[in-house]
C-alpha cells in the first residue's frame, strides 16, 4: 500500500474508534482494529502494523494532540492524524500533500484550515508549556481531583508512566514446567526474555515478539499475564483440594493462575455474566492441561444459582469490574470511553458483587477483592464500607500475606497496591478478607 492509503485507513479507523467512545456500548480499540483488518484482508502485515502503530500513538497521546487541534480550531480524526504526522513523524507540508492527495484510495485533499494547522504546529514539541496538567499527563479532566488524591505526591510520575507502552509479561504454568526451563526454551527459540523482578512466576520479553507462535505457548508452558496480575493472583491462600470460586472470571487469566497454585487438585468454579468471555477460557484450560475448573454463566450477582454454594468456599476471588485506569498503558483508549456516570455505576456494581460473594465464604475462609484501578473510591473506600457492613469479616494485613510468598517486597499496610511508576506493573489494588465467626 502507498503511504497515502495507510493514512486514509488510519483516519477511517480512528473515526470508528472515536464514534464508539460516545456510544452506549463503546468498542475497545483493539477489537475495532481487529474487525477493520478482518474486513480488509488485502492489507499486508506491514501495512496493518503501520496503521496500528499510528492509531495507538494517536490514542495514547489523544489529550495532547486534541489540545493542539483545539488551539488551531481543528477537530476530528483528520486533524488528529495530521497532528500526529507533523508532531511525531515530522511530516512537511509537501509530505502531507502527497499523503492526502484525494486519489481513489487516499484521504481527501487538505483544506485551507488544515494547511494552516500543519504550518502552525510544524517544528513544535508534542508537549507545550501552556498545557494544563490533565492535558500534559493525558487523561480526562474530570478525573484530576481523584487521581491526585489517590496517588499523592507521585501522581505526575504515575500518570507519565501510564502513558508509556506496557511490558509483555508471561506467567509460567508451573503445572507443566518451571520458570528456568521456560526461559531456556524461549532463548532457544530466539526470544529475548528475562525473569520478572517481583513475581516468582514471571518472564518479561525485552522486546515485543509474536510469542503466541512459539512452541512453548503451544505446549501450554505460559500464559500472557501482567506481572502485577500474577502477584495479586498469588494473594488468595488456596491449596490443593480446596473449593475456590472465581466470581468474575472473565476469560480466565486468574482462574488459570489459581489452578496452578492448587496443583490442578480440588475444584474451581469460574463464574461470569458473559458466556462469550467464559468460552474464551476453554482452549486456554485445555492448552494448560487444567481440568479442575467448572464454568458457569450467571445472570447477575443476584443469580439464584449462587445461593447453592453459600458458606462453602475456602476461597473466593472477586476480580471486580472497575474503571481499569491502572491498565491505561495497555488500554489507552479506555480513559476516553469511560466517564463520571460509568464510575458511579461501576462502584455500585462493586458493592453488590462484594455483598454477594461474601455469602459464599465458609468460616475461616478468605475473600480476595481485586481491581485494576488506582482510585481510592474503587479500592480502600469499598473495603472500608464492606467491613462496616459485614462484621464477620476482617482485613488480613498485606505484610502478613506477602511474607508467605516466595519473594518479599511491596508491603503497604492493610492493602496491597501496585503502580506503573513504583513497581513497573499495571496498577492493581488487592485486599484480602477473612471470615472469622
Per-domain residue ranges of the chain = 3-131, 168-224, 227-435
- The DSSP H or E segment spanning 429 is strand 428-435
Rounded distance between C-alpha atoms, residue 228 and residue 404, angstroms: 17
Cα torsion angle, 32, 343, 340, 376, sign: negative
Q: What is residue 405's predicted lDDT score, i.e. its pLDDT?
A: 61
CB burial string 53-80: b at 16+ within 10 A, e below: ebbbbbbbbbbbbbbbbeebebeebbbb
**pLDDT tens digit sequence for 234-285:** 999 999 999 999 999 999 999 999 999 999 999 999 999 999 999 999 999 9
What does the alpha-carbon distance between residue 10 and residue 53 come to, in Å, rounded to a whole number? Answer: 10
Helix (H, G, I), strand (E, B) or coil at 149: helix
Q: What is the radius of gyration, based on Cα positions, of the chain?
A: 23
Res 408: pLDDT: 45
pLDDT of residue 89: 95
Rounded Cα distance, 312 and 315, in Å: 9
Rounded CA-CA distance 22/19 in Å is: 6
Q: Which helix H or strand E contains 437, and what residues bound it? A: none
Nearest partner of 375 among 413, 329, 410, 323, judged by Cα: 323
- Round to whole Å and give the CA distance between 81 and 114: 11
| Residues of the chain with confidence (pLDDT) below 50 | 407-410
| HSE (side-chain half, CA atoms, 13 Å) at 354 | 30
- CATH architecture, domain defined by 168-224: 2-Layer Sandwich (3.30)
pTM, two decimals, is 0.93
CA-CA distance, 403 to 390, in Å (whole number)? Answer: 26
Residue 220 bridge partners (DSSP): none
Paired with 320 in beta bridges are none
Query: 227-435 domain in CATH 3.50.50.60?
Result: no
pLDDT, residue 16, reads: 93
pLDDT score, position 328: 97
In sequence order, what are the beta bridge partners of 243? 267
Amino acid at each position: 500500500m502507498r503511504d497515502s492509503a495507510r493514512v486514509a485507513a488510519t483516519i477511517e479507523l480512528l473515526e470508528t474508534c472515536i464514534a464508539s467512545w460516545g456510544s452506549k456500548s463503546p468498542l475497545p480499540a483493539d477489537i475495532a482494529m481487529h474487525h477493520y483488518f478482518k474486513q480488509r484482508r488485502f492489507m499486508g502485515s506491514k501495512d496493518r502494523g503501520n496503521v496500528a502503530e499510528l492509531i495507538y500513538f494517536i490514542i495514547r497521546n489523544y489529550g495532547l494532540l486534541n489540545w493542539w487541534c483545539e488551539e488551531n480550531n481543528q477537530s476530528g480524526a483528520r486533524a488528529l492524524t495530521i497532528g500526529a504526522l507533523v508532531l511525531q513523524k515530522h511530516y512537511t507540508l509537501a509530505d502531507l500533500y502527497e499523503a492526502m492527495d484525494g486519489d481513489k484510495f487516499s484521504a481527501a485533499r487538505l483544506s485551507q484550515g488544515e494547511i494552516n494547522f500543519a504550518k502552525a504546529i510544524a517544528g513544535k514539541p508534542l508537549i507545550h508549556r501552556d498545557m494544563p496538567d490533565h492535558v500534559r499527563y493525558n487523561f480526562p479532566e474530570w478525573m484530576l481531583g481523584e487521581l491526585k488524591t489517590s496517588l499523592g505526591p507521585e501522581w505526575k510520575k504515575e500518570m507519565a508512566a501510564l502513558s508509556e507502552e506496557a511490558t509483555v509479561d508471561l506467567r509460567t504454568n508451573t503445572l507443566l514446567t518451571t520458570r528456568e526451563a521456560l526461559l531456556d526454551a524461549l532463548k532457544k527459540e530466539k526470544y529475548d526474555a528475562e525473569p520478572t523482578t517481583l513475581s516468582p512466576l514471571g518472564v518479561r520479553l525485552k522486546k515485543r515478539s509474536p510469542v503466541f507462535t512459539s512452541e512453548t505457548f503451544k505446549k501450554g508452558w505460559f500464559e500472557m499475564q501482567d506481572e502485577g496480575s500474577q502477584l495479586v493472583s498469588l494473594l488468595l491462600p488456596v491449596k490443593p483440594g480446596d473449593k475456590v470460586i472465581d466470581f468474575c472470571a472473565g476469560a480466565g487469566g486468574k482462574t488459570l493462575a489459581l489452578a496452578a497454585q492448587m496443583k490442578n487438585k480440588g475444584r474451581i468454579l469460574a463464574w461470569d455474566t458473559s458466556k462469550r468471555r467464559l468460552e474464551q477460557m476453554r482452549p486456554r484450560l485445555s492448552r494448560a492441561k487444567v481440568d479442575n475448573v467448572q464454568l458457569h454463566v450467571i445472570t447477575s450477582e443476584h443469580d439464584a444459582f449462587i445461593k447453592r454454594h453459600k458458606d462453602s468456599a475456602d476461597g473466593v476471588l472477586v476480580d471486580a469490574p472497575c474503571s481499569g485506569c491502572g491498565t491505561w498503558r495497555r488500554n489507552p483508549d479506555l480513559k476516553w470511553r469511560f466517564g463520571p456516570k460509568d464510575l458511579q455505576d461501576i462502584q455500585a456494581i462493586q458493592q453488590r458483587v462484594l455483598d454477594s460473594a461474601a455469602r459464599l465464604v465458609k468460616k475461616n475462609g478468605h475473600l480476595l477483592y481485586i481491581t485494576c484501578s488506582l482510585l481510592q473510591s474503587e479500592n480502600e473506600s469499598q473495603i472500608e464500607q464492606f467491613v462496616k457492613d459485614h462484621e464477620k469479616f476482617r482485613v488480613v494485613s498485606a505484610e502478613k500475606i506477602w511474607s508467605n510468598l516466595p519473594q518479599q517486597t511491596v508491603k503497604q499496610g492493610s492493602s496491597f497496591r501496585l503502580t506503573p511508576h513504583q513497581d513497573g506493573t499495571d496498577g492493581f489494588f488487592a485486599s484480602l478478607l477473612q471470615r472469622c465467626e
